[in-house]
Structure 1
């Protein structure tokens, strides 16, 4: 993606199903769990580079001894920093206690991060808010083991104000307005309620307090706690949690917006945000990794019992299509094929744009995430050439001369790597004019391939959000090759609406498609539509969220898809560009054809999968009209 946007967060949970001694004997290390957690997190580094954190829980620890360990770090190297910290602790123990440290049970009793349940999180901050306090996992502490709670997740709630009010009504005083706080405290509240109910029950039956603690740990109903906690949540989420006594869970929202995959065998249960990282870390085939069902929680009790239980009725599945286009690693078998198909499905539009002139066209891509869709476009163009050759040679009524034969058979698409992404420039340059000049050199190009004023360049990108990098860098660099025409092709449709379920795209003014529609409204004397939409959004503030519509759709309705694409080209076109410029976007229909099982397309279509989404888009539009450069929802 030329316009970088922050990715979804990532989670990793491991539950060891055997004693630590088992892994020592079979794999030669008592640190099997922590080593695997490192692999899962490092392989999901694409999902968070602002911070990370881990937490572990030990089973059956004597009172007065620490059984919860947690460590968090900030920055792009957070994962490495965390595990370097843990490794240094292990090395110090081995040096001080060379014999004792060979005993897994001794390690568990004396060294942190040697527990049976391990939870990791990778974080991208949003809108500049980033601190160690914002890094997951979050910890809710209590002297009762069964009331301790560790939580980490990939989520955004659209109704944080409503959820906060519910906490106030319970008598709580949350320390900040953030969805992480509401989630932690909501689950924590009903965890407390469950503990108290079980305590009262067993107390009436005559058990001692010590006996009751063990009975609560055994009988605590995790699914009931999650059902009560999530009753009013509106958002996209995959949330993992561990309770102090050892029960663990991973829950997924009813629409399946956020991803969650798991694998289990007799040795381990593992959950991660992406499937291939599990395959790689545990060397298991694709079909061994399953997906947590929407509205369900994968629950593993302290005794090792594993169930998948529904906590909310699933709705129509709207899994995030941006996961397939951009966020998730392309090493997933299905995602790889989907991205190729996205590129292939664009071929008819591209062929029309170049007037089927393959001979005078150079095909390329914007590094690095558009490479797979580029391969799909290559396949599509090669197929077109083969079909053309077959049509000419088989259906010509007259004899084909040798010269014509050679020309037809020599026709082939020209695929070249024109753009090369350089390392990020140092940020010591502070003057805007100087900085903009340096931004133009983020990408470099390959010279000597494009024929001056004769060839057309077709360059595919996976999506276009703001168009800033196109205008400030890519188009300028491509224009230096003196092409006749430049065609930028987006394998994603036009991004028209904010996301409110985890992606850092929450302000209307960020979208070049929105800017294009506003320009067209004003140019065509239809500015009244802007005010009409604003008034409808304003009037909807007091409506129940399930009665609110996405009124912002009216901004785009007067214009065709192609008209908005043409205006986007006008916006991103640098004033000095010599070549003709055209921008082509993927259609919604083709997106659904390529990704049939991931139909969450609200940022393209405006069709939000939860009622809170409509409130957020309307609020985002109001913020834009009022000149407020803020997001339309609370988040961590």
Structure 2
């Protein structure tokens, strides 16, 4: 999961891209980068860190031009410690292309060999995004054969990319002297939308909140398999470039990743979380009688809508029992388990009066590794709670994710290979209630009937791209385990 944005305007775009990246900061806190174009020359600045830390006044002044793109990075493949793997990535031929990518390629290893042995293109990092850029560049070169670039050749190149590349990808690429190209994988796993402002500027972004927060009106989502080309003068051309496509967005976007004020693929994230609270209520009643619950307390912040809806339906007081330190990053997307463990107590503080002597039901958006949940349950007990129940608005996370979410190793998943009772004992709560998988899909899907289904592999073990075997998961696990060790060694003190 990363946040990407691209802008074509009649005025300088550096500040606009910066503002959009701030609105997408929740999607990645590891690194940030912006590239702009003026008179066919690219100007780029990228580094590890949060947007506000990466870009200073001197950096912004060095980003002239009326077209550009940016990214906030959340590493799931490659070397998270390397500044070289911060995006955007650049190749000088053909034409000069810079690219940002949100997602994860499942056949990156195979493509890397094809690029070296057949396409004779060099990649210098372990990032799958650099692989994707080089595949795109190679296919554009083949489509144009040395001729000037037209939208027909751009769309032909994207068709070839779809045939070669597997996995999840939402992409925005800037082609020097021509315009901005955006496309989405044939299943629409990772989000991408487009909007326009009153002054005529066009913006593409991962979430609608980036458009609305920069005074752009959301026009629509990029369809699965579709490519959109925005010319330098603002003209927009679009084409379906996948042989087969179907809308299967990642359901974890609605559970946790996206901001609640975003609308993605016609589904309000906030409404999706309210709906998950409704279906969770039925599960709670069957496990813990409402008469045995004195208060429902959310674990900030993604779980709030579900917790509020749950409290209303059960007729139980909703209370804020934890105060969040907003200057600590999201623990789920912190690289390295060591950094996560250190940040929980710094991130949350319990309000003792809301716990003392009470039987409380804590509501979280999901339970992935379980370490945070265990710590929070203990915080509630330390604050004087008589009973601590825990409900998850999402089902048990039992399977690795290979499409760009930081949960690829089975060993990291508390629910993998364990019963609900075993998870409850490990976490230390008095009762543990999980959402039902099918109920979750129905709760989110009924907001937009045009959504065919969801990519929900971390819950149901079904990999929508059809190319993931146990051997591939094992290989991804091995790479992730070694990376996790490096992350812990480099974790902040």
TM-score tier, shorter chain, comes to 0.7 to 0.9
Give the corresponding residue for 2:351: 446
Pairwise CA distance, 1:365:
1.2
Q: Is the 8 A contact 1:38 1:83 kept in 2?
A: no
1:67 correspondence with 2:41: yes
Unmatched runs of 5 consecutive residues or more in structure 2: 330-336, 446-450, 485-493
Give the corresponding residue for 1:355: 289
1:13 correspondence with 2:6: yes
Pairwise CA distance, 1:449:
4.0
Give the corresponding residue for 1:234: 166
Match 1:421 to one of 293, 305, 324: 324
1:379 correspondence with 2:329: no
Give the corresponding residue for 1:582: 431
Give the corresponding residue for 2:491: none
Give the corresponding residue for 1:502: 404
Counting strand residues as a fraction of each chain, which structure ranks higher? 2
Whole-angstrom CA distance in 2 between matches of 1:283 and 1:70: 24
Classify 1:301/1:448 alpha carbon distance in 2 versus 1 (closer, same or farther; 3 Å): closer
1:45 correspondence with 2:25: yes
Classify 1:114/1:456 alpha carbon distance in 2 versus 1 (closer, same or farther; 3 Å): same
Classify 1:628/1:337 alpha carbon distance in 2 versus 1 (closer, same or farther; 3 Å): closer
Give the corresponding residue for 1:137: 88
Classify 1:364/1:133 alpha carbon distance in 2 versus 1 (closer, same or farther; 3 Å): same
1:323 correspondence with 2:253: yes
Pairwise CA distance, 1:565:
1.2
Q: Is the 8 A contact 2:395 2:434 kept in 1?
A: yes
Classify 1:45/1:436 alpha carbon distance in 2 versus 1 (closer, same or farther; 3 Å): closer
Counting helix residues as a fraction of each chain, which structure ranks higher? 1
Unmatched runs of 5 consecutive residues or more in structure 1: 1-7, 21-30, 90-111, 199-215, 383-412, 426-431, 517-563, 574-579
Whole-angstrom CA distance in 1 between matches of 2:152 and 2:244: 24
Q: Is the 8 A contact 2:290 2:314 kept in 1?
A: no
Q: Deviations over 1:189-232 (max 9, x none)?
A: 1222234353xxxxxxxxxxxxxxxxx14576210111123312
Q: Is the 8 A contact 1:351 1:357 kept in 2?
A: no
Normalising by structure 1, report the TM-score.
Answer: 0.67
1:629 correspondence with 2:459: no
Match 1:620 to one of 462, 469, 473: 473
Whole-angstrom CA distance in 2 between matches of 1:254 and 1:162: 19
Whole-angstrom CA distance in 1 between matches of 2:417 and 2:371: 12
Classify 1:114/1:353 alpha carbon distance in 2 versus 1 (closer, same or farther; 3 Å): same
Aligned length: 462
Whole-angstrom CA distance in 2 between matches of 1:85 and 1:572: 48
Pairwise CA distance, 1:327:
0.7
Pairwise CA distance, 1:282:
1.2
Whole-angstrom CA distance in 1 between matches of 2:136 and 2:454: 29
Classify 1:220/1:117 alpha carbon distance in 2 versus 1 (closer, same or farther; 3 Å): farther
1:368 correspondence with 2:301: yes
Whole-angstrom CA distance in 1 between matches of 2:170 and 2:370: 31
Q: Is the 8 A contact 2:409 2:480 kept in 1?
A: no
Q: Deviations over 1:276-328 (max 9, x none)?
A: 220121153xxx43100000011123454311211213433210011111111
Classify 1:441/1:44 alpha carbon distance in 2 versus 1 (closer, same or farther; 3 Å): closer
Q: Is the 8 A contact 2:205 2:211 kept in 1?
A: yes
Match 1:609 to one of 427, 451, 464: 464
Give the corresponding residue for 2:223: 293
Q: Is the 8 A contact 1:156 1:235 kept in 2?
A: yes
Pairwise CA distance, 1:481:
4.4
Q: Deviations over 1:17-67 (max 9, x none)?
A: x4x4xxxxxxxxxx4x22221221111111111111111123xx3xxxx62
Classify 1:347/1:220 alpha carbon distance in 2 versus 1 (closer, same or farther; 3 Å): closer
Whole-angstrom CA distance in 2 between matches of 1:623 and 1:140: 27
Whole-angstrom CA distance in 2 between matches of 1:451 and 1:477: 12
Whole-angstrom CA distance in 2 between matches of 1:584 and 1:249: 44
Q: Is the 8 A contact 2:96 2:176 kept in 1?
A: yes
Q: Deviations over 1:469-492 (max 9, x none)?
A: 222x21212123444432100001
Match 1:276 to one of 201, 209, 215: 209
1:85 correspondence with 2:50: no
1:565 correspondence with 2:420: yes
Question: If you compute each CA radius of gyration, which structure gives the higher value, 1 or 2?
Answer: 1
Classify 1:191/1:38 alpha carbon distance in 2 versus 1 (closer, same or farther; 3 Å): same
Give the corresponding residue for 1:163: 111
Classify 1:510/1:300 alpha carbon distance in 2 versus 1 (closer, same or farther; 3 Å): same
Give the corresponding residue for 1:388: none
Whole-angstrom CA distance in 1 between matches of 2:434 and 2:314: 17
